[in-house]
Amino acid sequence: MMKALPALLCCVMLAASTPSLHAQQDKSDYKVGERLPQPKAPAAMQAYKELTWEGLVPKNWDPSQMMKGLDLSRLSDSDPRAMEALEKMRKAWSEAPVEPSLNGARVRIAGFLVPLDAKRGQVKEFLLVPYFGACIHTPPPPANQIIHAVAVKPLKEVQVMSAVWVSGTLETARSTTEFGDSGYRLKADMLAPYQ
């Protein structure tokens, strides 16, 4: 149980930070926790507002405040305070607030794709997450860092953790999936490989 708490805290730090990455056109082997650089949109895509993952988080939300005064190095696996802290963090992430001003916004965002319904090689619904490995190799990010997307047309030949650009209309709507809770839903008009 105690091992899950540091992993969860590691993900809090990953979700809250913005590591700088070097833009590489052909990069196909991402590392767990790695984020995509957000270059300027081409003119054809400017009907959509360029959105960063940090823009999905309300400015006053700081989940690390729950951990203030708690020295994790002094807690054992069976310490009720460790279990209580883990449960508080899970609840805070599941109920993470969204940015209400984004409801109905036409946005374009880069992220990693986690298919939810692969049928006959086609995907209609997927999660878009901010860093490689989220929801698959690591605990899920907070709900305000997961977008539940529904493609207008089924996607063909997509793979788990594909790096993609997604454009569409965003709404503040919660959903629960086997991979994590999302705070946003996106009607995905366009999807393109990340470049």
Q: Give the number of domains in the chain.
A: 1
pLDDT tens readout for residues 43-80: 555 689 999 999 999 999 988 887 787 787 888 878 88
**Bridge pairing between strands 122-129 and 147-156:** antiparallel
Q: Given this model, what pLDDT does residue 111 score? A: 97
pTM, two decimal places: 0.75
Q: Chain-wide mean pLDDT for the chain?
A: 82
Q: Given this model, what pLDDT does residue 90 score? A: 87
CATH code assigned at 127: 2.40.50.870
Identify whether 28 is part of a domain.
no
Identify whether 108 is part of a domain.
yes
Using pLDDT thresholds of 50, 70 and 90, give the confidence band for residue 95: very high
Q: By mean pLDDT, which of 33-37, 83-87, 103-107, 182-186 is the weakest?
A: 33-37
Identify whether 31 is part of a domain.
no
pLDDT tens readout for residues 148-174: 999 999 988 888 999 999 999 999 999
Identify whether 22 is part of a domain.
no
Q: Given this model, what pLDDT does residue 153 score? A: 92
Identify whether 32 is part of a domain.
no
Identify whether 159 is part of a domain.
yes
DSSP calls for 163-178: EEEEEEEEE---EEET
| 192 vs 6: which has the higher pLDDT | 192
Q: CA–CA separation, 155 vs 168, rounded Å?
A: 15
Domain coverage including residue 69: 4-17+37-193
Identify whether 97 is part of a domain.
yes
